Amino acid sequence: MRPIREQATNNGQTYMVTSSTWCRRALFSREAWQKLLIDTLYHYRGSAYLLHEFVVMPDHIHVILTPITSLEKAVQFVKGGFSYRAKKELGSNLEVWQKGFSDHRIRDASDDRLHQTYIQQNPVRKNLCERAEDYPYSSASAGFELDSVPQGLKPVISDKTDTARLEGAPFQSNTLCGAPDGSRPQSKISSGGAAEAHPSKSKTA
């Protein structure tokens, strides 16, 4: 039986969200696509969600956000908004996204730091750059304005994260293809660093 996703409305909860491209195509290896996706993220910032962290990888995205309406609507704005703009501004009729997305509710300051580090180090692990701050399509790069996380997720003291726990722990499915925007099981990181398989929800465009 599929687990029921907890209601993610405007309750101040923060989530890490992952969504992959259809057939895991490297659509976001193109600069125009990367920039348009980041512009889309910022277009809905403040109206659909608060934006805390992101990275645009060649075939998937990771975002930490706090929904203002609901989690499903927040992700739909990003995915649907980008698909619309890609067709209009880039002249593309390609299917962009696998259906659904993976999400993990950020539990506390330590969990936030764990997922923040995972996002920032993703391009480094994939040999796209030597340092996180050198990758221009990530919030680790200079110049991106981000929203502060809710007060309950702010660390009371400096908190050292064991980044070794993040190695080889996928947040996105390894499935290469499926129906456009097709639902696939996806993996998440637990607070103990172990991968946990959970089916993704399929409400987004």
Least trusted range by pLDDT, from 15-24, 83-92, 170-179: 170-179
Name the pLDDT band for 197 (thresholds 50, 70, 90).
very low
Asked if pLDDT for residue 171 goes beyond 90, the answer is no
Angle (CA) 174-77-171 rounded to 5° is 20
170's tokens: 């996928």
Distance in angstroms (rounded) separating the CA atoms of residues 16 and 26: 21
Residue 191: helix, strand or coil by DSSP?
A: coil
122: nearest Cα among 13, 14, 16: 16
E runs forming strands in the chain: 15-20, 49-57, 60-67, 102-105, 185-189, 195-199
Place of tokens 């491209």: 21
Where are the domains positioned within the chain? 15-199
Q: 106-163, pLDDT tens digit by residue?
A: 999 999 999 999 999 999 999 999 999 999 999 999 999 999 998 888 876 554 545 4
The pLDDT value given to residue 151: 85
**Token digits for 129?**
């750059």
Contact 28, 56 (CB under 8 A): yes
pTM (2 d.p.) = 0.77
Express each pLDDT in 66-117 by its tens digit. Answer: 999 899 999 999 999 999 999 999 999 999 999 999 999 999 999 999 999 9
DSSP code, position 61: E
pLDDT of residue 152: 83
Supply the mean pLDDT for the chain: 82
Bigger pLDDT: 12 vs 135: 135
- The fold of the 15-199 domain, in CATH, is Alpha-Beta Plaits (3.30.70)
Listed in sequence order, the residues at least 6 apart from 72 whose beta carbon sits closer than 8 Å to its beta carbon are 8, 201, 203, 204
